[in-house]
A and B are shown apart, each in its own frame.
Chain A
């Protein structure tokens, strides 16, 4: 498949949890300012792979990788890379909305605060802008000082997206961001993804085939730790090459 500008890349990537070989020599390049979807049966390694891009697996005892992950052509696992700098560039949204037990405002500006930014004007402007980008501003602008835990699940997830946007990353990783939400909230998140890809490179894990079809430009199908097939989403859904892909997207296993 033709990639115009590759934002993220994995080269001969192997990942292990102790002795367990979770990802097997994966090679993939992902298009800048596009949505790439990871699909595959649960346990095939989608989350593990996604988390290698912001090094969230670093905290897991016994986890290690071989091979390379490149962001803008630069290896992010070399010793001179600072993980906090990397994560300013590569944001993440989790499966279950995980707002901090703080106010809506404090949730959004948290990433700035830990960078030492204290200027009230900057914080407030960033807060408004990020909430607007996350299509949440109108719903919460009158209660920024209320607890984020009082929001609905869908609002919480959009808050988590706003929180990620506030530190101006160029990549956003989303691990099944709508799987815990109702259909209406899910639709809102999908619309949002569509908007965001104008400015951001988005990688989304989903087990929902229709969702992958609706939101993504490219789709990668994983099976038991292997990248089986990677193609334009339309191509993959209309004419999958591998029989395993075929079986999966027609719902024969999963």
Chain B
């Protein structure tokens, strides 16, 4: 067998292997989805979405859970969005390339990989105990903001980096200051990318139960939160709670709630994909 023939065979073999690996992922995901949908879809109706939690599976609904999830999403976005963008802009546009900024950069990248439960512990200490907030929505949102901040900073920097040098030069040459150049040129041109990053970060946050349980979010909340200072639960906690019950009817509830949670995640991802697509269509460098 000649060498090139050998190489071609290896190529072929790897291709088959690659397809196989790809399919494992997809098939497992599909089985999981189908299983959940079969189990839960029949349980989803208007009552399920608008009922308060209950000890009886057939009467229990997810109103407080999804309302809490939306609250957490919005609050986290409001907190993490400006902070993340400001930090990203600073690091990319202003920070001198010193040892300190290098150190910051590496650690921000590392933070993105810290397990979420650690953020829960941080939130518990910082917001619940030191700031004495208790296990309320605001504390949960602050904790999840910490969790998604590194992701937002990293994606902001990527988006800003994609704006060509020539655009900045053009702005400076017309007498613009650095701040004006960032505000009028760099941010608008990278906004789609930044938003995409924020939404993807939120879609990670929306699935988190562990850090919120750690800070003391409750599984049973008999009312819809009406302010950031209220106690709350979220869909993942509700799901976790139901799956740990022995009765089969609660498992059905859990499956139904998982479908809703997945829908929210897909919706967020869909928006992100749409925004990125629109951005690409609008701006071709």
Which residues does A use to contact B, with CB under 8 Å?
Answer: 54, 56, 59, 83-85, 87-88, 91-92, 94, 96, 98-102, 110-111, 113-115, 147, 149, 160, 163-164, 167
Given that A94-B169, A147-B282, A149-B283 are known contacts, is A115 also in contact with B175, CB under 8 Å in the complex?
A: yes
Evaluate contact between B177 and A84: CB separation under 8 angstroms: yes
Q: Is B189 an interface residue (CB 8 A)?
A: yes
Q: Can you give 10 A-B contacts (C-beta < 8 A)?
A: A56-B173, A85-B175, A87-B173, A98-B170, A110-B171, A110-B174, A114-B171, A114-B180, A147-B282, A163-B170
> Which chain A positions have C-beta within 8 A of B283?
101, 149
Q: How far is the CA of A184 from the CA of B164 in the complex (A)?
A: 27
Evaluate contact between A100 and B185: CB separation under 8 angstroms: yes
> Which chain A positions have C-beta within 8 A of B166?
94, 96, 98
Q: Is B184 an interface residue (CB 8 A)?
A: yes
Q: Is B23 an interface residue (CB 8 A)?
A: no
Which residues does B use to contact A, with CB under 8 Å?
Answer: 164, 166-167, 169-177, 180, 184-185, 188-189, 282-284
> Which chain A positions have C-beta within 8 A of B164?
98
Evaluate contact between B169 and A98: CB separation under 8 angstroms: yes
Kindly name the residue among A54, A83, A84, A114 whose own CB sees the greatest number of chain B CB atoms within 10 A.
Answer: A114
> Which chain A positions have C-beta within 8 A of B184?
110, 113-114
CB-contact partner of B169 in A56, A84, A147, A163, under 8 A: A56
> Which chain A positions have C-beta within 8 A of B170?
94, 98-100, 160, 163
Q: How far is the CA of A114 from the CA of B181 in the complex (A)?
A: 9
Evaluate contact between A100 and B282: CB separation under 8 angstroms: no
Q: How far is the CA of A110 from the CA of B173 in the complex (A)?
A: 11
Given contacts A101-B167, A114-B177, 10 further A-B contacts (CB under 8 A): A54-B173, A87-B174, A96-B166, A98-B164, A98-B167, A111-B174, A114-B174, A114-B184, A147-B282, A167-B174
Q: Chain A residue with minimal CB distance to B96?
A: A61
Q: How far is the CA of A83 from the CA of B176 in the complex (A)?
A: 9
> Which chain B positions have C-beta within 8 A of A113?
184
CB-contact partner of A87 in B175, B188, B282, under 8 A: B175
Evaluate contact between B282 and A84: CB separation under 8 angstroms: no
Q: Chain B residue with minimal CB distance to A99?
A: B170
> Which chain B positions have C-beta within 8 A of A111?
174-176
Evaluate contact between A101 and B169: CB separation under 8 angstroms: no
Q: Chain A residue with minimal CB distance to B185?
A: A100
> Which chain A positions have C-beta within 8 A of B175?
83-85, 87-88, 111, 114-115, 167
Query: What's the least CB distance linking A166 to chain B, in Å?
Result: 8
> Which chain A positions have C-beta within 8 A of B284?
149
Query: What's the least CB distance linking B138 to chain A, in Å?
Result: 38
> Which chain A positions have C-beta within 8 A of B167?
98, 100-101
> Which chain B positions have C-beta within 8 A of A100?
167, 170-171, 185, 189
Q: Chain A residue with minimal CB distance to B183?
A: A114
Q: How far is the CA of A98 from the CA of B168 in the complex (A)?
A: 9
> Which chain B positions have C-beta within 8 A of A114?
171, 174-177, 180, 184
> Which chain B positions have C-beta within 8 A of A84?
175-177
